[in-house]
Amino acid sequence: MGKQNTHTHSRRKKAETLFTNQRFNEARNLFQQICKRDPDDAEAWVMLGKTNARLGKLHQTVECNQKAISLRPDYWEAHYNLGKALLDLGQLDEAEASYRKTVRLNPDWPQAINNLGNILQARNKHDEAMDCYSRALEIKPDYARAHINMGSMLYQLGRDHDAEISFKKALSINPALPGALKNLANMKLSQGKYADAMRYYQRLEYQHPGQVDIPVIKARILERQGQPDKAYDIIKPLIDRGKEDIKIARLFASICRQTGHRSEAIEMLRHVLSGDTEKINDDERATLHFKLGDLYDAEEKYDRAFEQYETANMLKHKVFDCDAFSATVDKLIETYTASFMKNLPHGSNDSERPVFIVGMPRSGTTLVEQILASHSGVYGAGELEDIRLAIADLSGMIESLSPYPDCLVDMTQGTCDQLAQTYLDHLQQISNDERYVINKMPGDFLHLGFISVLFPRARIIHCIRDPLDTCLSCYFSDFQSVHDYAHRLEDLGHYYKDYHRLMQHWHDVLDIPILNISYEALIADYEDVTRLMLGFLNLNWDEACLRFHENKRVINTLSYNQVRQPIYTRSIGRWKHYERYLEPLKSSLLDPRIE
C-alpha cells in the first residue's frame, strides 16, 4: 500500500471511530478532508452524509448522497440514506423514488422496504404500504419496527383487534419497546379502556423513565371520564410545586372551568408561554394559545381571546390551495351527474345499517350523534375513516389508470359489492346488534355520491349551522388532524362556499334520503328535532335521547366535553362578539347562494 493510501486509510479509520463514538463534529471535519483529497471516493461521501444527518444538516446530507450516487449509480446505501434525508425534509415524492430505487437494487433489505411502507402510508397508499410491511416481515419475522408500523396502519384503518396483535408481536420480540407500549396505551385510551391504558402507561414509565408522567395520565383519564375535580386533586400538588410543563398546563386549562380555577389556569398558561421557547415546539405552543383563547372567551374578554386564537393559527398555518379544492368540488359535480350514477354498478346489499352524519366541522355533528346514540337501536361509531380510505385505494384496487373519480367507470359490480361488504363487516365488528351504526365523519360530505353507490338504502343526516358561527368555531379549534383550511379566515370562507355548493348538488342528484338538521333549531327545540331524526330512521321514541349528556360512551372529538352538558344556547350568535375581526371571512363568504 502506498504512503498516501496508508495515510488516507488511517484518516478514514480515525473518522469512523469518531463517528462510532458520537463525536460527530470531529468526524465531519475529517470526512470533509477525505472527500476534498479524493472527490471520487463514494464511500467517503456516504459517511460524510451520515455524519451530516446525525448533526441535523439534512440539505448537506442530500448533497453528499447525490454525489455518491453520481459516482456509483448502483450504490444502494446512498439511495437509502438519500431517501431518509428527503423524508425528514418532507419531500415525499423524492423520498419514495429513492426508496424504490434502493429496493430494486437490494430487494431483500427489510429496513428499506419498511421505510418505503412508511412513505406509502403517509401518502394514503394503504394497500401498497401493507404489502411493504408484510414483505419486510417475511424477510425478517422478528423486525419489531415493522410490526409496530403495521399495527399503526391497521389502527388507522379501524382494525383495532389486528393492530393490537401487531403491537403485541413487537412486544414479544422486545418487551420494553417504547413504540409498541405507547401505541397500545394510546389505542386503549381512545377506546375508553382506561384500566388497560393505564397498565401500558405504567409499564412504559417503569421501563423508560421520563417517557410519560403517570400522575398526569391518571388525571387525564379522570378528565375524560367526566371527573374534573378528581383530576384537579391529582395535578394540584404538581402545580403547587411549580411543575409547569405543557402537559399539566393543557390539562389544567381543560378542567379549570368546571373546578373554578380559571384565573389560575390563565396565569399558568401565560407563564409557560413566556418561558424557554426552545422547550416548546410550534404545535405545542399553538395548543396553549388555543387553550388561553378559550379561557379568555369564557371570561368575555373577546379582544384578548381573538389575539390568542390568531397567534395559534399563525403557528399552525399551512398553505391551503383554495383553487385546488374548488377544482376538486367541480370535478365531483361534473362526474356525479344523475345519468352517470344510473349507469354505475350499485351495491346489491339492502342494508339500512349505515347512517352517515356529515357537514362542516363544528356544525353540531357530535351533538347529533350523541343524541341518536343514546337510543337503544343506534350505535355511535364516531369518526370512521373507511370511506375516505376506500376511495384513496380505489384506483389501485381496480387497476385503473385514472384517478378518482374518473376511475369509477372501471369499477365492476364485484368490486362495488366487495367494498360495501368490507364496510358492513367493520360495522359488525365494532357494534353489537343495534339496528343502525352511525359514522360521524363530517368530511364525508365529499363522498356522498360514492356512499350512495355502495349503500343504496343508507341514510344521510346533514348538520347545518350559521356560516359565521361555523367558520369562527373552526378557527377557534385546535384540530389535531388535517384541516389546513381552518387557519385563515379567508380560506375558511372559500372552503365553506365549496362545501355548500357540493351539498346542494347532492340534494339534487342523490336517490338516498338526506335530512338537514339545523343546529339552531336543535338548540331551540331539541325534543321536536330529536323526534324528527328518530322518525327519519323509523325508530320509536326513547326518553334516553333527552338525557344524552348522561351517556358515558367514548367520544374522541373536540366536542367531548360539550356533549356531557345539557343543551345550552351560548354558542348561537357567538360571532357577534368578534364581528370587528371578521371582514376577511365575510368577504370570502359573500355569495348569493349562501343563506
Amino acid, res. 426: H
Handedness of CA 414, 417, 422, 423 (dihedral sign): positive
- Give residue 252's pLDDT band: very low, low, confident or very high (50, 70, 90): confident
Give the mean pLDDT of 182-188.
Answer: 90
The edge-to-edge listing of strands for the beta sheet with 514-518 is 378-380, 436-439, 354-359, 459-464, 514-518
Average pLDDT over residues 88-99: 89
Predicted local distance difference test score (pLDDT) of residue 219: 85
How many other C-beta atoms can be found within 10 angstroms of the C-beta atom of residue 358?
A: 25
How many degrees, rounded to 5, is the angle at CA 462 between CA 522 and CA 448?
170
Could you report the per-residue pLDDT of 34-82, keeping only the tens digit for each?
899 889 999 999 999 999 999 889 899 999 999 999 999 999 999 999 9
What's the first-to-final CA gap in the chain, in angstroms? 84
Distance CA 215, CA 222 (A): 11
Grid cell digits, residue 483? 384541516
Q: What is the pTM of this model?
A: 0.78
**Higher pLDDT, residue 39 or 158:** 39
Residue 238 is predicted with a pLDDT of 82
- Report whether 80 contacts 112 (CB < 8 A): yes
Mean per-residue pLDDT, 162-178:
93
Reply yes or no on whether the pLDDT at 6 is more than 80.
Answer: no
Distances (CA, A) of 355 to 31, 380, 469, 516, 528: 62, 10, 26, 14, 20
Distance CA(408)–CA(394), nearest Å, equals 8
pLDDT of amino acid 97? 93
- pLDDT of 282: 85
For the segment 582-589, the average pLDDT, to the nearest whole number, is 94
139, 136, 204, 147: which is closest to 170 by C-alpha? 147
- What pLDDT does 355 receive? 98
Question: What is the chain's length?
Answer: 595
- Can you tell me which residue has the cell 415525499? 92
Q: Sign (positive/negative) of CA torsion 419, 404, 92, 156? A: negative
> Is the omega angle on the peptide bond into residue 405 within 30 degrees of 0, that is, cis?
yes
pLDDT at 560: 46
477 Cβ partners below 8 Å, 6+ apart? Answer: 290, 361, 362, 483, 486, 558
Phi, psi of 574 (to 5 degrees): -60, -30
Q: Which of 556, 569, 571, 575 is nearest to 366 (CA)?
A: 556
Question: Is 97 in contact with 115 (CB distance < 8 Å)?
Answer: no
Report the amino acid identity of residue 437. V
Percent of the chain scoring above 70 in pLDDT: 93
Q: Determine the pLDDT at residue 278.
A: 62
Could you please report the per-residue DSSP string of 170-230? HHHH-TT-HHHHHHHHHHHHHTT-HHHHHHHHHHHHHHSTTS--HHHHHHHHHHHTT-HHH
Contact between residue 207 and residue 179 where contact means Cβ atoms under 8 Å apart: no
Question: Which of 287, 318, 315, 291 shows the shortest CA–CA distance to 305?
Answer: 291
Q: Which of 163, 165, 117, 172 is nearest to 142 (CA)?
A: 172
Per-residue pLDDT tens digits for 426-436: 999 889 899 99
Query: Kind of pairing, strands 514-518 and 378-380?
Result: unpaired
Q: 387: number of CA atoms within 13 Å, CB side?
A: 25
Q: Is 145 within 8 Å of 179 (Cβ atoms)?
A: yes
CA–CA distance from 493 to each of 134, 314, 487, 497, 594 (Å)?
A: 44, 17, 11, 6, 11
553 falls in which pLDDT band (50, 70, 90)? low
Average pLDDT over residues 138-152: 95
**Region 376-401 average pLDDT:** 91
Percent of the chain whose predicted confidence (pLDDT) is above 90: 60
pLDDT of residue 516: 97
**Amino acid symbol at 201:** Y
Instruction: For 173, list phi and psi in degrees, rounded to 5.
Output: -80, -40
Residues 195-213: tens digit of each pLDDT: 898 888 888 888 888 777 7
- Closest by CA position to 361, among listed 436, 285, 438, 469: 469
Please tell me the predicted confidence (pLDDT) of residue 7: 58
Each residue of 286-336: pLDDT tens digit? 999 999 999 999 999 999 999 999 999 999 888 899 999 999 999 999 999
Instruction: Find how far residue 194's CA is from the centre of its chain.
Output: 21
Average pLDDT, whole number, for the chain?
Answer: 89
458-496 pLDDT, tens digit each: 999 999 999 999 999 999 999 877 789 999 999 999 999
**What stretches of 72-143 show up as alpha helix (H) in DSSP?**
76-88, 92-105, 110-122, 126-139
pLDDT number for residue 559: 47
Lowest mean pLDDT among 14-18, 183-187, 550-554: 550-554
Q: Give the separation between CA 419 and CA 421, rounded to whole angstroms.
A: 6
Write down the pLDDT at residue 595.
47
Secondary structure element (H or E) that encloses residue 143, with its range: none
Q: Does domain 322-589 have CATH number 3.40.50.620?
A: no
